[in-house]
Structure 1
Amino acid sequence: MRKVKTFTDLVFNPHALSKEARYLPSPLREEYMEAKHAVMRFDNGYGISVVKGDMFYSNGIDTYEVAVLKDGAICYDTSITDDVIGYVNADEVSNIMKQIQELK
């Protein structure tokens, strides 16, 4: 039996948008530079994308925007959600991750 992955297993890196941020005017530049992104794929073909930053459905501090992935792309037709899920805390992210890992 595999261990269920949770929020603490996620590895956050600078969001891809931060690479282009140096060309943006301040304060937009700072918002993009501070954005973080984690992606995890699961054995069932699904995955999760978790972003943190003011330009997402996140307060940039301790809430996150989550998307369910299928084969690496955002999936809008699961029993979990039909959209991205915004303003969730770390415990809620863990719960969503558990649900994703149970998808068939």
Structure 2
Amino acid sequence: MRRSRGFRSRTRSKLKRSIRPNRPNPITKKIQTFDENDIVHIIIDSSIHRGQPHPRFHGKTGKVAKKRGSAYIVEINDGNKAKKLIIRPEHLKIQE
């Protein structure tokens, strides 16, 4: 037997949601908009699988580069390397 090493492996605690959230998936998360050069936090909503970044980027902060369809291209620094991620707005939160 070989163990599965899928996209969401070893994320049981990282992607865990609270037991009784107030509203599971508010529509305002899906229709929120961001401008270029906005600073955003990547907070993965585990109940929505579309447009999810890899769990290694959960909790990271980046800058919105541009919009692509209904998703956004977010630039982050992963160590010393700059990376571009395509993320839907349900998994992004504006920095206050």
TM-score range, shorter chain: under 0.3
Greater RCO, CA 8 A, separation 6+: 2
1 or 2, which has the higher helix percentage? 1
1 or 2, which has the higher strand percentage? 2
TM-score between the two structures when normalised by the length of structure 1: 0.26
TM-score between the two structures when normalised by the length of structure 2: 0.27
